[in-house]
Amino acid sequence: MDKIKSYITPRNLLIFNIILIILFFLFSCVVDEEEGFFDSVTEIENIISPLPEYSPVPDSNEMSAEKIDLGRQLFWDPILSGSKDVACATCHHPDKGYADALDLSIGVGGIGLGEQRIGNIIAGRNAHTVVNTAFNGITINNQVNPLDAPMFWDNRTMSLEAQALLPLLSKEEMRGVTIEENQVYDIIINRLEAIPQYKAAFQDAFGTEEITTDKIAKAIASFERTLIATNSPFDRYMRGDASAMTDQQVNGMNAFINVGCAECHGGPMFSDFQLHTLGVPDNPKLPETDAGTGTYAFRTPTLRNLSLTAPYMHNGMHTSLEEVMDFYEEISEGDADMINTHLSINNIDPLARDLDMDDDVTDAIIAFMKALNDPNFNRTIPTNVPSGLLVGGHINN
Ligand code: HEC
Ligand code: HEC
């Protein structure tokens, strides 16, 4: 006791304090060196953020149980396709993350589901998942106008409502060669009107039996707004559950931001919804090069649920996340070997060329992207559709 006391002299206390101060500065330097380690959720939230728990809904298309139900029936019913063999669900199937697991979708005349699907007519691009498309266009501040939500790899149409009718017109996806584009809507409306169950369902959903393309689109869009998954480990971590992500995933999240991925893959959907030229090589299955809107720029895709939606990129040319990371590494090193032969390295978006890639963090970034998976979306498959046709089209080979 006495001995201890004797140490606490004013002079010793001063020395002790000086040591403390030195230690403090040393420690802060060490922390500073771990440049840009975001350990506060508030800092990260300005760059990447959790999804809201509800879909944004436009005033002009409020949701109702009846409308959602009708939308689900239409989504699964191949009656909407020219030769009655393809439904939306053929290429956007819950067992395949509401995509189709193919590099390029196989449309009319095809048989089978996902990797098993065979057929000669390919839709020119990789199918997006429909899960969370309700949030397309959302900004970091959760601003989103569902009527102005970008759709497709080239943002060529806005809103789920406007998108829903386009596959019907597409010769490769649903129309086929038996009917002309300008006949599609009349033929489909006639077919639906001949089915009493549909007349009743339109009556329940919209208050009148009359069937129009506007109502078809609204019902499908309402159904799609129920297909959301907003509770990934990342979402839970950001909402306060510090144990929701592993240490490796937290490191990966920091690396994702520091390397520069979030420059394009930012916000709650991990997309800026802008077009960027990465120079992904052409898919050799296509008869000609796909330059998108002319500059080989495609929309930044969401990184949510990637484990369910391989292969990747607008033409499915990358089969794994490892391959995607290799590709970014090459670009950032100024190496043109892996890019589209129609482009030179200077055509590639500077934000991709400026990525600060580092082999040491690749695994962590991949682990972080897996923290963006939430497989708990609605996977209900109807047992039958009002037309009596095959549920989901010819998906059983
Ligand atoms: C033959 C396969 C096929 C069928 C059938 C099909 N789609 Fe798609 N879907 C695709 C492909 C491929 C894309 C990407 C096309 C592009 O971006 O150019 C896509 C894109 C979409 C998108 C855009 C998502 C986004 O984030 O931009 C939505 C929404 C969608 N489809 C809904 C539907 C609906 C609703 C139907 C039925 C009316 C349907 N699809 C029928 C293959 C298909
Ligand atoms: C310049 C903007 C930009 C930057 C920076 C960027 N990406 Fe991308 N990312 C895109 C675009 C655009 C695509 C689609 C390109 C295409 O299909 O042609 C894409 C595609 C992807 C895909 C495929 C997703 C799918 O569903 O097909 C993954 C995974 C991905 N990026 C991860 C990353 C990671 C990880 C980083 C950082 C190392 C990163 N991205 C940096 C814009 C960017």
| DSSP-derived secondary structure for 191-208 | HHHT-HHHHHHHHHHHSS
What pLDDT was estimated at residue 10? 55
Please say whether the beta carbons of 319 and 359 come within 8 A: no
132 contacts 304 by C-beta, under 8 angstroms: yes
The closest-lying atom of ligand 1 relative to the alpha carbon of residue 172 is 1
Q: What is the pLDDT of residues 21-77, one digit of tens each?
A: 555 544 444 443 345 677 678 889 999 999 999 999 999 999 999 999 999 999 999
Measure 38 CA to ligand 2 centroid, in angstroms.
Answer: 22
Ligand that comes closest to the CA of residue 99 = 1
Give Cβ neighbours of residue 52 (< 8 Å, ≥ 6 apart): 135, 138, 142, 230, 268
CA of 310 to the centre of ligand 2 (A): 13
The predicted pLDDT at position 27 comes to 47
The pLDDT of residue 7 is 47
Q: Given this model, what pLDDT does residue 40 score?
A: 75
The mean of the pLDDT values for the chain is 92
DSSP state letters, 23-61 = HHHHHHHHHHHSTT----HHHHTTTB-PPPSS----GGG
Assigned token pair, 93: 């199937």
Please give the pLDDT value at position 32: 39
Report which bound ligand comes closest to the CA of 155: 1
Spatial contact of 273 and 153, defined as CB atoms under 8 Å apart: no
As a whole number of angstroms, the distance between CA 35 and CA 31 comes to 8
Q: Whose CA is nearest to atom 43 of ligand 1?
A: 91
Q: Quick one: which atom of ligand 2 is closest to the CA of 357?
A: 38
Q: 238: CA distance to ligand 1 center in Å? A: 31
Q: Considering the domain 41-51+231-370 in this protein, what is its CATH number?
A: 1.10.760.10
Shortest-distance atom of ligand 1 to CA 151:
27
pTM: 0.92
- The residues, any chain, with a CB within 8 Å of residue 79's CB and separated by 6 or more, are 188, 191, 192, 195, 385, 386, 387, 389
Please tell me the distance between residue 127's alpha carbon and the centre of ligand 1 in angstroms: 6
Residue 102: CB within 6 Å of ligand 1? Answer: no
pLDDT at 334: 92
Ligand 2 binding pocket, CB closer than 6 Å = 259-261, 263-265, 276, 278, 280, 298, 300-301, 303, 306, 309, 312-314, 321, 324, 328, 349, 351-352, 355, 365
Ligand 1 center from residue 284 Cα (angstroms): 21
- Give the model's pLDDT for residue 70: 98
CATH topology (fold) of 59-224: Cytochrome Bc1 Complex; Chain D, domain 2 (1.10.760)
Q: Distance from the CA of 372 to the center of ligand 2, in angstroms?
A: 15
Nearest ligand 2 atom to alpha carbon 311:
27
Distance from residue 191's CA to the centre of ligand 2 (Å): 42
Query: Which pLDDT tens digit goes with each residue over 371-383?
Result: 999 999 999 999 9
The pair of structure tokens assigned to 247 is 């240490």
Mutate to test the pocket of ligand 1, among 105, 272, 305, 389 (most ligand atoms within 8 A of CB): 105
Which atom belonging to ligand 2 lies closest to the Cα atom of 315?
17
| Interatomic CA distance for residues 218 and 135, integer angstroms | 16
Which two structure tokens, joined as six digits, stand for 330? 């090459």
> 266 burial class (0-12, 13-18, 19+ CB within 10 angstroms)?
buried
What are 149's two structure tokens? Answer: 């939500």
- The backbone torsions φ and ψ at residue 304, rounded to the nearest 5 degrees and listed phi first, read -80, 140
Cα(300) to centroid(ligand 2), Å: 6
Looking at the CA of residue 104, tell me the nearest atom of ligand 1.
Answer: 12
Percent over 90 (pLDDT), the chain: 88
Atom of ligand 1 nearest to the CA of 166: 38
DSSP 103-166: SS-B-TT-BSSGGG-B-S-B-SSPPPP-TTGGGTT--TT----GGG-EESTT--EESHHHHHTH
Ligand closest to CA 281: 2
Enumerate residue ranges in the chain where pLDDT < 50. 1-8, 25-34
* CA–CA distance, 153 with 274 (Å, rounded to integer): 10
> Ligand 2 atom closest to Cα of 365?
35
Residue 208 tokens read as 């009148």
Domain-wise residue ranges, the chain? 41-51+231-370, 59-224
Residue 167, ligand 1, Cβ within 6 A: yes
Q: Do domains 41-51+231-370 and 59-224 have the same CATH topology?
A: yes
Ligand closest to 306 (CA) is 2
